[in-house]
Amino acid sequence: MKAGNKTTGARLRIVLETDVAIGPGKADILAGIRETGSIAAAGRRMGMSYKRAWSLVEEMNAFFTEPMVETSRGGNARGGATLTPMGEKVLDSYRHMEDLTDQAIAGEMKSLKRSLADMAKRK
Amino acid sequence: MKAGNKTTGARLRIVLETDVAIGPGKADILAGIRETGSIAAAGRRMGMSYKRAWSLVEEMNAFFTEPMVETSRGGNARGGATLTPMGEKVLDSYRHMEDLTDQAIAGEMKSLKRSLADMAKRK
């Protein structure tokens, strides 16, 4: 789970169309499903309710021409879930965009960091 | 106000250090202050209360070695506010990072957009 928890760097939200957006949270859900094989487990490790995780998956499944997540027992995913080829493609693309962004803005980030106040000043 | 309202493209949140982050909202507040000369007016056009806008400015003013916003009457900014050279620098840098990001991910965005479902499917 790269994006959601990293403390410094860029966080990217991609708005492809009105109401079609992918950010760190949705990317981490996809990554969690890939790694755990379960929507519930993916949500749990993000501190997210099953209901919320499931609703994000439902939303995402309508974004593209194919769903991104497939569940093994029809509507209810407690039995297991996997990324479809579309899900893999979108997650890989998002992670790639994160890397491209980090590279593109590295110089600006470095320059801004030089002006940071001491931690003490911010209490 | 570029970032906050654009419907498609990348939205960028820059985390420079724990609890030191600049995203579309803070950038738009800075841009609003530059354009209106007032924290209240900058917040208003974003649908934000004066209190909330002021608290974002206070937070931002502690990020760097110099404040980003200067008010003409000490603590209370209803009398007018301007960006300091630091504020100008950070806002310009953020906008530049947005442009760099848009350029860096343009190809990936285009490819993802090709897979978007019909609007009708998403209702």
Percent of chain A with pLDDT over 70: 85
Check residues B114 and B7 and name the one with the higher pLDDT.
B114
Query: Has residue A77 got a pLDDT over 80?
Result: no
Nearest to B8 among A11, A15, A116 (CB): A15
* Tens-digit pLDDT profile for residues A14-60: 999 988 999 999 999 999 999 999 999 999 999 999 999 999 999 99
Query: Has residue A64 got a pLDDT over 50?
Result: yes
DSSP three-state, residue A98: helix
pLDDT recorded at residue A118? 83
Residues of chain A contacting residue B119, judged by C-beta atoms under 8 Å apart: 17
pLDDT recorded at residue B4? 42
pLDDT recorded at residue A2? 40
Edge-to-edge strand list for the sheet holding A9-17? A20-22, A9-17, B9-17, B20-22
Residues of chain B contacting residue A116, judged by C-beta atoms under 8 Å apart: 16-17, 20, 63-65
DSSP three-state, residue B120: helix
CB contact under 8 A, A7 and B15: yes
* Tens-digit pLDDT profile for residues B7-61: 789 999 999 998 899 999 999 999 999 999 999 999 999 999 999 999 999 999 9
Q: Which of B93, B102, B103, B123 to mutate to test the interface with A (most CBs of A within 10 A)?
A: B93
User: Which residues are CB-contacts of B47 (< 8 A; sequence separation ≥ 6)?
Assistant: none
User: Which whole-number Å values give the CA distances from B2 to A16, A17, B6, B59, B104, in the listed order?
Assistant: 16, 16, 6, 22, 18
Would you give the DSSP letter of residue A73?
A: T
Q: What is the mean pLDDT of chain B?
A: 89
Count Cβ atoms below 10 Å from residue A73 Cβ, excluding itself: 10
The H or E element that residue A81 is part of is strand A81-83
A11-100: CATH architecture? Orthogonal Bundle (1.10)
Query: Has residue A76 got a pLDDT over 80?
Result: no
Q: What is the ipTM metric for this complex?
A: 0.84
* Tens-digit pLDDT profile for residues A80-108: 999 999 999 999 999 999 999 999 999 99
Note the pTM of the prediction, 2 decimals.
Answer: 0.86
Please give the Cα distance from B22 to B25 (Å, whole number): 8
The answer to whether A64 faces chain B, any CB pair under 8 Å, is yes
**Contacts from A15-19 at CB under 8 Å and sequence distance 24+?**
A15/B6, A15/B7, A15/B8, A15/B9, A15/B10, A15/B11, A16/A63, A16/B8, A16/B109, A16/B112, A16/B113, A16/B116, A17/B7, A17/B8, A17/B113, A17/B116, A17/B119, A18/B7, A18/B8, A19/B122
Identity of residue B7:
T
CB contact under 8 A, A100 and B104: yes
Query: Has residue A5 got a pLDDT over 50?
Result: no
